[in-house]
Structure 1
Amino acid sequence: MSVAEDTIVRNRALQTEWYGEPLGERVRPLLDRLGMSQSGLAGVLGLSAPMLSQLMSGQRAKISNPAVLHRLMAVEDLVAGPGFDALSPAGIQARLEEIKADSAATTSGMRGAVSGRVPAGPAPAGREGAAERAGGRAAAEPARLVQALLREVASAAEIEAAAGLIAGRFPDLAEVLRVYGAGRTSEAEAHFARTVLKEPAAEDGRGDRAVMP
Structure 2
Amino acid sequence: MDQTTTARNLELQRQWYGAPLGELCRDLCALFGVTQSGLAEILGISPAMLSLVMRGQRARIANPDAAARLSATLHLAHEVRAGTVPAGAVAGRLDEVRGNRTPGQESMGTAVSAPPPAEAGDLSPDAELRFVRRLRDLLTATAGAVDILDAAALVEARHPGLAEILRTCGAGRTDEAVALVHRLTTPDR
Name the TM-score class by shorter chain: 0.7 to 0.9
RMSD: 3.4
Residues 138-184 of structure 1: CA deviation (Å, up to 9, x unaligned): 5245223234236x3341xx544543443332223222222223322
How far off its partner does 1:41 sit?
Answer: 0.9
Q: Tell whether the 8 Å contact from 2:136 to 2:170 is kept in structure 1 after alignment.
A: no
How many matched pairs? Answer: 177
- 1:180 paired residue among 159, 163, 169: 169
Q: Which runs of 5+ in 1 are unaligned?
A: 118-130, 202-213
**CA distance, structure 1, for counterparts of residue 155 and residue 3 of structure 2:** 39
User: Partner residue of 2:160?
Assistant: 171
Identity %: 36
Q: Tell whether the 8 Å contact from 2:69 to 2:97 is kept in structure 1 after alignment.
A: yes
Report matched runs for 1:66-105 at 5 Å. Answer: 66-81=64-79, 82-83=82-83, 86-88=86-88, 91-104=89-102
Report matched runs for 1:28-43 at 5 Å. Answer: 28-43=26-41
How far off its partner does 1:38 sit?
Answer: 0.7
Instruction: Give 3-state SS (helix, strand or coil) of 2:61's partner.
Output: coil
Q: Tell whether the 8 Å contact from 2:103 to 2:138 is kept in structure 1 after alignment.
A: no
Instruction: Give 3-state SS (helix, strand or coil) of 2:114's partner.
Output: helix
What TM-score results when the alignment is normalised by the length of structure 2? 0.72
**Runs in 1 of length 4+ with deviation above 6 angstroms?**
none
Judging changes above 3 Å, is the alpha-carbon distance between structure 1 residues 18 and 187 closer, same or farther for their aligned structure 2 residues?
A: closer
How far off its partner does 1:86 sit?
Answer: 3.4
Matched, 1:143 2:141: no
What TM-score results when the alignment is normalised by the length of structure 1? 0.65
Q: Tell whether the 8 Å contact from 1:163 to 1:174 is kept in structure 2 after alignment.
A: yes
Instruction: Give 3-state SS (helix, strand or coil) of 1:112's partner.
Output: coil
